[in-house]
Structure 1
Amino acid sequence: MLKTKMEELQLNDFQYDLPDDRIARFPLAQRDQSKLLEYRQGKITHRSFFELPDLLPQNSLLVFNDTKVIPARLHFQRSTGAVIELFLLNPVPVDRLVSEAMQDKNRSIWQCMIGNRKRWKPDEVLTKEIRVGDHTIVVRAQWHDPDQSHIRFEWTPGDESFATILHETGKIPLPPYLNRDVTEADKETYQTVYSRIEGAVAAPTAGLHFTPETFERLVQKGIQTNYLTLHVGAGTFQPIKTTDVRQHAMHTEQVVYSRQNLETLVAHTGPVISVGTTSMRSLESLYWFGLRLLKNEPEPFLLDQKYAYSFSEDELPEKHEAFRAVLDHLQQTEQNQVVAHTGIYCLPGYRFRVVNGLVTNFHQPGSTLILLVAAFIGEAWRTIYSAALENDYRFLSYGDSSLLLP
């Protein structure tokens, strides 16, 4: 969807009927036993996920998001008995590395969604006690900037990291559509086996199907793997409320690219397969960050939802030129990673610059993720989703998977 093709897109065109009993509320006992719908150049074949390594094109680069879900849902009880829920969104300031904020000692400031907000008085300090090892820690939460929903957390003794505080008192924030309480098992099953960098409030769920055995098979098949980090935000569940989906305000997420990411992408000449929509958004965003550098634009690592639709095709470089611009920036600034923020919005008409294939679950009707899938494979998304419903696939975060190769 370049600047000459900004056609209206109606939300109703991206809806489908998802019966409640098709939502997978719990995972399978074995991750790689889920179903896998293979869509290859218009043909649909029904597989099992453990077959994935055999189905990937030769010389593929498989790109994963190694973010780790944090126990981002905290509950404090007022003296009246009312419970205030604090749902962590991002550290303050917004450009601060999430992994850095997780190591805070004594205090940490976060933007939050606040449940029961009206009952929390402006000068009221919420407190709770937690046990860490053989000692008690008092955790306090108070308003830091009410207008921005910034909350200051403090704890004494302050020797433990904020990550430790969260793990002792927070709950894993399951998607709201699961409509159930968190279980002890969710602490493990709602993480990918390769999760590493803490900071997400939702899992990159396409990766939940991978097992150590899957990775062994990828090595045997000569499939190269690479890891970047996008911290999935709560905005991923934000419904589209506008009739014309172009008017939806897209959320922004923090993404971290390493020098090794760039070196791998610059050198790679085969297909790039994204594991999940977050990896796809990260890879496509990287192209536009490179373009911003090539054009010497201010704030090159901040991408809004409209930027990718601002150019004619003849104005745009090849992907390796864009990647090289980011790698050159790292070398010139003597950095080993780039911290960026992306609000990229992939709508039908968007031309994908980087990704050739996508491993992904089945998404909610009328969501930004459905729009991304429709942008990638066109109207075939309806045929694929109908086939999945007819063949008893399980949907959403804990559901089955698909391999999309247009």
Structure 2
Amino acid sequence: MKAKLSQFNYNLPKKLIAKYPSKERDESRLMVVNRKTGKIEHKLFKDLLDYFEEDDCFIFNNTKVFPARMYGRKEKTGAKIEVFLLRELNKEAKLWDVLVDPARKIRVGNKLYFNDEDGNEKLVAEVVDNTTSRGRTIRFYFEDDDEEFRKILYSLGNTPLPKYINRPAEEIDAERYQTVFAKEVGAVAAPTAGLHFSERLMKQINIKGIHTPEVTLHVGLGTFRDIDVEDLSKHKMDAEYFYVPEKASTLVNKAKKDRKKVCAIGTTSMRAIESAVSADSYLKQAEGWTNLFIYPPYDFHIANCMVTNLHLPKTSLMIMISAFGGYDLIMEAYEEAVKEEYRFFSYGDAMLIL
């Protein structure tokens, strides 16, 4: 069967889109989907460990979200503009790939001014290139050292909540739109399956003897980009930086050889490990850029279970979990999630696919 985009649609009432996180990270709901039996269970996220034993593996994505959404003013007119930092192109030259809104007003040569809350000018940038209809390359003018520049840049930024949350970032988001194990700065969106893990749950994982190898995949906006082709084989993913250290591959491969559960925590962890598969189908140390798009049918090599959130219709994320869980079972699970009024998307509830 050739996978088509229209197969991955479902009806979601807007009221089920979570605008805020659950009160406690590990007290969101957890739908458990068993691929062998087709059974669907309804639990709380803190019940996750009931399904795992000593020497199993949770593969975490340790990427850290930076405050990528900035608001500035255009020279002369003073028009307010949004600048969304995507990635740094050149550290020394302070060149960044960004998205701008409204794009039609931002042209090459325009200067952009960024002030603090008191109205003091903190940074100035110049638009040096057009990359896409909304994409620009900008250069920040800043003479002092890089550490000071970064400190100011991040102080001016806001937590980059996805647009569908449909509210401005608040104080709570700085903490909750970040995993407790985040280390490597570089993501413009959180690896949301990881948001459910609390400090308390991480301690329980450790006590139970479950291994927690970490990989890095810096989540970009391309993960959420609309797919505009019906034939999924024609869709091209934006490349994202990933790193699988030797320590992670050693732990994962031992668990795999011992026939233990190897659980990818989120679609980003899954993409990272599937981008680092050796010739004999084990995990290898790797670093680079991946544009891997996983859609059915797909032969997964490393993980035999995964934790994931409930995703937007017709997105690469939903398509991947359908490849992993089986199309019919995942569509049934989503129908059940809507019926049971689970909370959806980044701040929503979770699913464990066994």
Q: State if a TM-score over 0.5 links the two structures.
A: yes
Asked if residue 279 in structure 1 is aligned to residue 241 in structure 2, the reply is no
Q: Distance in 2 between matches of 1:161 and 1:273?
A: 39
How far residue 109 of structure 1 moved from its aligned partner, in angstroms, is: 0.9
Q: Distance in 2 between matches of 1:155 and 1:284?
A: 39
Q: 2:105 aligns with which of 112, 119, 123?
A: 119
Comparing 371-380 with 82-91, greater Cα deviation is found at 82-91
How far residue 146 of structure 1 moved from its aligned partner, in angstroms, is: 2.9
Unpaired segments ≥5 residues, structure 2: none
Would you identify which runs of 4 or more consecutive aligned residues in structure 1 move more than 6 Å? none
How far residue 130 of structure 1 moved from its aligned partner, in angstroms, is: 4.2
The aligned runs of 1:3-402 (5 Å cut-off) are 7-40=1-34, 41=36, 42-56=38-52, 59-78=55-74, 79-92=76-89, 101=91, 107-130=93-116, 138-147=122-131, 149-158=136-145, 160-268=147-255, 269=257, 270-287=260-277, 290=278, 317-320=279-282, 323=283, 326-327=284-285, 338-378=286-326, 379-402=328-351
Does structure 2 retain, via aligned residues, the 8 Å contact 1:37–1:47?
Answer: yes
How far residue 259 of structure 1 moved from its aligned partner, in angstroms, is: 2.5
Letter in 1 for 2:12: L
After superposition, the Cα gap between the structure-2 partners of 1:340 and 1:160, relative to the gap in structure 1 and judged at 3 Å, is closer
Unpaired segments ≥5 residues, structure 1: 1-6, 94-100, 291-316, 328-337
How far residue 165 of structure 1 moved from its aligned partner, in angstroms, is: 2.1
Letter in 2 for 1:220: I
TM-score by length of 1: 0.80
Q: Distance in 2 between matches of 1:237 and 1:15?
A: 15
Q: Distance in 2 between matches of 1:223 and 1:257?
A: 19
Does structure 2 retain, via aligned residues, the 8 Å contact 1:257–1:339?
Answer: yes
Q: Distance in 1 between matches of 2:229 and 2:167?
A: 28
Q: Distance in 2 between matches of 1:259 and 1:354?
A: 15
Letter in 2 for 1:19: P
Q: Distance in 1 between matches of 2:45 and 2:131?
A: 46
Does structure 1 retain, via aligned residues, the 8 Å contact 2:109–2:128?
Answer: no
How far residue 49 of structure 1 moved from its aligned partner, in angstroms, is: 0.5
Does structure 2 retain, via aligned residues, the 8 Å contact 1:131–1:137?
Answer: no
Q: Deviations over 1:110-133 (max 9, x none)?
A: 11112123323432322234499x
Percent of aligned pairs with the same amino acid: 36
Q: Distance in 2 between matches of 1:352 and 1:146?
A: 38
TM-score by length of 2: 0.91
Comparing 369-378 with 120-129, greater Cα deviation is found at 120-129
